[in-house]
Amino acid sequence: MFRKSFRQVLLVLLVLVLSGILIIPAAAQDDAGWCAGKTIRFFVGGAEGDAFASIVLRGAQAAEADLGATVEYIFSGWDVERMTQQLREAIAAEPDGIAMMGHPGNEAIMPLAEEAAAAGIQMMYQNVDVADVRARFGGGYVGAQLVSQGTALGEEVIRQYGLGEGDTAIVFIPLGQPGRDLREGSTAAALEAAGVNVVRLDSPPEYASDPNLALPALTAAALNAENLRLIVYPGGQLLGAVPVYMDALGYAPGDIVNIGFDTSPAIMEAFESGYVQLTSDQQPFQQGYLPILSLCGTLVYGFGPLNVDTGAGFVDTTNYQNVAELAIEGYR
């Protein structure tokens, strides 16, 4: 019965196609993919092999394979000045679309977005939003909403661990990166609202490339902190290095509550060993896949850009095993 119904459906579709009532777009018939022939420059953000950037890259490569676009990958080592120069070079190359990390911020990106718009280059942004740029020159955003994500993490750690008056927290914040600092700054504000004493530490881009560089500043801050109960890290690179930091400081698993953002194999190991207690997942695979999908939809079919909040909630000591396998495989 099923086979007969299926054959009938195929026959109806064939009649519709032959009669011109149902039209299959030529791009959808192309074995190379419906976005074949379109060139996209994609900003991965970090360096090759970076714990976070490698997941973003995997998502982008999956989109490239699925859709057939030609994607050129740009690695920046999280250096905002380098990103800005690379964006300038990308616009000069005149691709069909550019998927840009928003780390340089509205002010730096604005004139370049204007150039891209004048050249007819479609733009998407990922990981850090540049709402002012998008309001003027278009483009969508794929990533977590930084203020709400940071605030939620602060409130969650207070709820789970009862932090308050008399407790001290060290919070790493990218202080020299306007816009990018909103997330960790919001975590710090949530902690202070609960009466926690917050020590702010700068987190320059080079920390993400080499987390060991953060150890001297962290050591000095920890030694000077009274009743230190919590350390908040700015991304998966540093959060994955927590066992190294705690060993250097002489802390055993659980002596300090360590929290932050992202998931990775190293972070899963830190959960397993008891050194990490809480992280906010922002699904970087989607931040790789969806900007390319959005650009292809705009370039081929004229669709409006996607705007997707990739914040997926919290991973903690009670549920980390649910995502551990995917993190080890490089998808979470």
Q: Whose CA is closest to 191, among 220, 244, 235, 230?
A: 230
Is residue 324 assigned to a domain? no
Q: How much is the pLDDT for 1?
A: 41
Q: 9 in a domain, yes or no? A: no
39 lies in some domain: yes
Q: Is 47 exposed, middle or buried (0-12, 13-18, 19+ CB in 10 A)?
A: middle
My answer on whether 166 and 262 are in the same domain is yes
In this structure, the number of other CB atoms found within 10 A of the CB of residue 265 comes to: 16
For residues 76 and 136, state if they share a domain.
yes
Is 5 domain-assigned? no
Q: Please report, as a single letter, which amino acid is at residue 99.
A: A
Q: Are residues 202 and 191 in the same domain?
A: yes
Question: Which domain, by its residues, includes 110?
Answer: 34-144+284-311
205 pLDDT exceeds 90? no
CA 112 to chain centre: 22
- Condensed to tens digits (0 to 9), the pLDDT of residues 301-323 reads 999 999 999 997 999 999 999 99
95 and 156 assigned to the same domain: no
In whole numbers, what is the pLDDT of the chain averaged over residues? 91
53-67 and 284-301 helices cross at what angle (nearest 10)? Answer: 30
Q: Mind listing the pLDDT tens digit for each residue in 207-249?
A: 988 999 999 999 999 999 999 999 999 988 999 999 999 999 9
pLDDT in tens, 53-100: 999 999 999 999 999 999 999 999 999 999 999 999 999 999 999 999
The answer to whether 326 and 274 are in contact (CB under 8 A) is no
How many domains does the chain contain in total?
2
Please indicate, yes or no, whether residues 157 and 225 belong to a single structural domain of this protein: yes
Query: Does residue 55 share a domain with residue 124?
Result: yes
Q: Tell me the CATH number at 237.
A: 3.40.50.2300
Lateral strand order in the sheet of 70-74: 70-74, 39-43, 97-101, 122-126, 140-143, 307-309
Question: pTM to 2 decimals?
Answer: 0.84
